[in-house]
């Protein structure tokens, strides 16, 4: 009878999944989920990097525009390189000429009056000003040649997001 039962069951389809089929299916689902999570992470990182780059560019351009709108030299005082006596070094509200910005930096970034910019944690912006040769702006000079090179750098968590370099002449 046992032999007949076995022969009778050969033509029927079995129902359900075997353990091997279940494990293979679970592994395939895990691989697909892992791939989609990796893709989602890459998209998020790319968006964050793009957003940081844009924000860094905007901060750098804002600071550079502020510096370039200043006079070449402070006309009322003994022309010192950097902030003159009585000009605050904590914020930029009293900076009235280009070289007052030399060596200035803030973290988190601040507006001209020293108020912190919103969501500025981890950000830093800084400026340097140098005398350069008129015919070779890459060459630093110790004397005033009539040309100042201004460099503005914006960083986030130590990574440079934007760097701008401009020249300002005494003829402007």
Domain regions of the chain by residue span: 40-169
Q: Could you tell me which residue, 80 or 53, shows the higher pLDDT?
A: 53
Q: Report cis status (omega within 30 of 0) of the bond before 171.
A: no
Contact 162, 64 (CB under 8 A): no
Query: Among candidates 87, 61, 89, 91, which has minimal Cα distance to 74?
Result: 87
Question: Helix, strand, coil: what percent of the chain each, to 5?
Answer: 35, 25, 40
In degrees, rounded to 5, the angle at the alpha carbon of residue 102 between the alpha carbons of residues 101 and 105 is 75
Give the chain's mean pLDDT.
85
Query: Among candidates 93, 117, 119, 95, which has minimal Cα distance to 106?
Result: 117
Bridge partners, residue 58, by sequence: none
Query: Among candidates 172, 148, 163, 170, which has minimal Cα distance to 82?
Result: 148
Structure tokens at 74: 């402070």
16-20, 82-86, 114-118, 168-172: range with lowest mean pLDDT: 82-86
Q: For the segment 65-94, what is each residue's pLDDT rounded down to a tens digit? A: 999 999 988 776 666 777 777 676 667 888
Give the containing element (helix H, strand E) for 127: strand 123-133
Does the predicted TM-score (pTM) go above 0.85? no
Q: For the segment 103-123, what is each residue's pLDDT rounded down to a tens digit? A: 999 999 988 888 888 888 899
């Amino acid at each position: 009878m046992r032999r007949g039962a076995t022969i009778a069951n050969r033509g029927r389809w079995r129902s359900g999944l075997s353990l091997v089929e279940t494990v293979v299916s679970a592994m395939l689902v895990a691989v697909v989920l892992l791939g989609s999570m990796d893709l989602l992470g890459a998209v998020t990182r790319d968006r964050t990097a793009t957003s940081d780059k844009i924000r860094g560019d905007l901060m750098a351009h804002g600071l550079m525009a502020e510096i370039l709108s200043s006079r070449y030299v402070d006309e009322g005082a003994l022309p010192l390189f950097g902030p003159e006596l009585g000009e605050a070094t904590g914020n930029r509200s009293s900076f009235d000429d280009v070289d007052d910005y030399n060596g200035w930096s803030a973290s988190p970034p601040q507006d001209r009056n020293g108020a912190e910019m919103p969501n500025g944690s981890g950000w830093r912006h800084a400026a340097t000003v140098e005398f350069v040769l008129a015919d070779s702006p890459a060459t630093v000079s110790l004397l005033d040649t009539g040309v100042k090179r201004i460099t503005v750098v914006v960083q986030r968590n130590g990574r440079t997001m934007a760097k701008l370099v401009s020249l300002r002449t005494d003829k402007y």
